[in-house]
A and B are shown apart, each in its own frame.
Chain A
Amino acid sequence: MSTVLSFFNYWVVVVLMMIGFYVVIARGNMIKKVMGLTLFQTSVFFMFISAGKVAGGATPIVRAGVEVYSNPLPHVLILTAIVVGVATTAVALALAVRINESFGTIEDDTLQDALLEEPSDRPEDTA
């Protein structure tokens, strides 16, 4: 039981990751796909941050009387990864807006129908 609890953060990571991944795969709505993708990425951020915690360690600001600090490097890495994640979400949403403008929908099922009317090319495996 204590092992299960001591890995509490990682259980949360796994659950979040699977929820996010499932939403990306199972949902046809593009905005929901983006939400799932963001959740998926965020769970990985949690994983890095959790790994940076040193048992009994203080915040990594050098001061008198503190011997053990937590590891600050994962925070720095994840700061970069968060920026990447925000950029990805922005590009994805911009694409969703453009798709909505030119097809009139962002639902996968409706998009298939719209593509079936497209004159050229095989539409069935496009979306």
Chain B
Amino acid sequence: MDVVAWMPFIVLTPLILSAVVALLPGRFAPWGVSVIVAVVITALSFWVLGHVDETPIRYAFGQWPPPIGIEYRVDAANAWVAFIVSAIALLALVWGKASVDQEIPERQSVFYALFLLTLAGLLGITLTGDAFNVFVFLEISSLSTYALIAHGPDRRGLLASFRYLIMGTIGATFVLIGIGFLYMMTGTLNMADLAERLPAVADTNAIRAGFAFIVVGLGLKMALLPLHLWLPNAYAYAPNMVTVFLAGTATKVALYVLLRFIYTVFGFEGSFGMLPLAPLLMTLAIAGMVVGSWVAMFEPNLKRLLAYSSVAQVGYLVLGVSLVSVVGLTATFVHLFNHALMKAALFMALGTVMYQTGSARIEAFYGIGRQMPWTMSAFAVAGLSLIGVPATAGFVSKWYLILASIEAGHPWLVGLILITSFMAVFYVWRVIEAAWFKAPNEQAKPVREAPLCLLVPLWLTVLLNLYFGLDTRLSLGAATRAAQTLLGSF
């Protein structure tokens, strides 16, 4: 088996089979094929992850040698992101069957086809080594995401989707403008080629403008604080399975692309020398951490609560980038994985309660802890991981973020990370308090524990949170290699 020949199938399998899934009848076949696709790409990306070393794995499409043709270029950084995306897709699919059956009773083939298209788009962004190809896959994933969000049972999902479409298209067009400037100045679109030719023209306004456009465009896509307005409603009103998947993947892939542009295309010197990027990112990251956590503390809709918490978590991810060190970048890459795991678990737990009660309002959670003990215990454990309690995955990320802050000479950041963690304690506690210490609503019908088909994947994800809090060989090893690859490439 040749790893180079099989690597492109990580993108091609979901892309091609989405067309097949769209034609399948009934409720079981589309889901079954999607799960098979997810298993295949998770296995493939894990296999590729094991094969990346100093030299990237390169595959030229249609035998056209780069820089003329489009190439996929996989190193430790994007192999890791591709693995996270496929694994979260698999978890979301396994958990989501019953939830999707309830929320989208008809025409599920279209829904799963869109899901696979989103997946193909995100993986394509991750693996490609061509700047224009990034834009194309960005739009493939975005367009299918808009349609997925509009599938939500609440009619406000349509408004959330429309708003995301407007903002997402502006973001993607900004990226396109940025790539246009790069192309005008260098005459190439291949990222490795761009990296070679950019230093010669780096000191021009066109390149500075292009860089600014790309940073803002991707900032929109990853919901960095002032550009996060699309995210809370998009997450809150999407079908639960889509929320589980998007919360773990979409913003992270945008962050990865930003890192790829900062470190590989513009190069370390170019990016941090051209604009005051590190202070800018740090300010926005801190603002995101504080504002996101603050709003989450008072949010009555629990899906929106977790969505605002995601805005805060994007802040943590970007904070790691802004510290400009191997440890900081390692913290970012390990948190990519850990945050995907904890948010997937939390949204799964919420979705499981919503499957039984139909509401994400905090009043609907009164007394639910006694009626659905397994689900709410899972929520509590995943909540501990979100807070960053030792022996959970969340602790590992926060620990590395703190180490990086001290190493970079910003010890006050440690205090800030602790404060935002206490804010997380507060908003997770609100849910726990509602579930266990409030009397159930008189009018509300008592509910029973959720079916096993939802509980088993939920607990599997929760246990993964605990496992990767104790055994960090896979997560930390891959994250360290990813950080070293990006920083080593300047």
Task: Evaluate contact between A118 and B156: CB separation under 8 angstroms.
Answer: yes
Residues in chain A near residue B300, CB distance under 8 A: 121-122
- Determine if B448 is an interface residue (Cβ-Cβ < 8 Å): no
A49 to chain B, nearest CB (A): 10
- What's the Cα separation between A47 and B184 when bound, in Å? 10
- Determine if B162 is an interface residue (Cβ-Cβ < 8 Å): yes
Q: A84-B139, A102-B155 are in contact. List 17 more A-B contacts (CB 8 A).
A: A40-B170, A41-B173, A44-B173, A44-B177, A44-B180, A48-B180, A51-B180, A51-B184, A77-B132, A80-B132, A81-B176, A88-B143, A98-B158, A118-B156, A121-B301, A126-B160, A127-B163
Task: Evaluate contact between B177 and A96: CB separation under 8 angstroms.
Answer: no
A37 to chain B, nearest CB (A): 6
Task: Evaluate contact between B301 and A95: CB separation under 8 angstroms.
Answer: no
**Per-residue contact bits, chain B 121-165, to A (CB 8 Å; 1 contact, 0 not):** 000000000001001100100010011001000011011111101
Task: Evaluate contact between B156 and A37: CB separation under 8 angstroms.
Answer: no
Interface residues on A, range: 20 to 34
Q: A92-B162, A118-B156, A121-B300 are in contact. Are A44 and B143 (CB under 8 A)?
A: no
- Determine if B86 is an interface residue (Cβ-Cβ < 8 Å): no
A39 to chain B, nearest CB (A): 11
For B135, B139, B233, B361, the residue with the greatest tally of chain A CB atoms inside 10 Å of its CB is B139
A residues apposed to B, CB below 8 Å: 21, 24, 30, 33, 37, 40-41, 44, 47-48, 51, 74, 77, 80-81, 84, 87-88, 91-92, 95-96, 98-99, 102-103, 111, 115, 118, 120-122, 126-127
Task: Evaluate contact between B361 and A120: CB separation under 8 angstroms.
Answer: yes
Task: Evaluate contact between B169 and A126: CB separation under 8 angstroms.
Answer: no
Enumerate the 5 nearest inter-chain pairs by beta-carbon distance, A residue then B residue, closest first: A102-B155, A84-B139, A51-B184, A95-B162, A99-B158
Residues in chain B near residue A41, CB distance under 8 A: 169, 173
Residue of B nearest to A13 (CB): B177
Residue of A nearest to B140 (CB): A84
Residues in chain A near residue B301, CB distance under 8 A: 120-122
Interface residues in B168-198 by Cβ distance below 8 A to A read 169-170, 173, 176-177, 180, 183-184, 189
Residue of A nearest to B177 (CB): A44
Interface residues in B267-289 by Cβ distance below 8 A to A read none
- What's the Cα separation between A44 and B181 when bound, in Å? 11
A88 to chain B, nearest CB (A): 5
A63 to chain B, nearest CB (A): 22
- What's the Cα separation between A103 and B195 when bound, in Å? 50
- Determine if B166 is an interface residue (Cβ-Cβ < 8 Å): yes
Residues in chain A near residue B166, CB distance under 8 A: 24, 33, 37, 92
Residue of B nearest to A120 (CB): B361
Residue of B nearest to A119 (CB): B361
Task: Evaluate contact between B170 and A91: CB separation under 8 angstroms.
Answer: no
| Interchain residue pairs with CB less than 8 A apart (19) | A47-B177, A48-B180, A51-B183, A51-B184, A80-B136, A84-B135, A84-B139, A88-B169, A91-B143, A91-B165, A92-B162, A95-B146, A95-B161, A98-B158, A99-B158, A120-B359, A120-B361, A122-B301, A126-B160
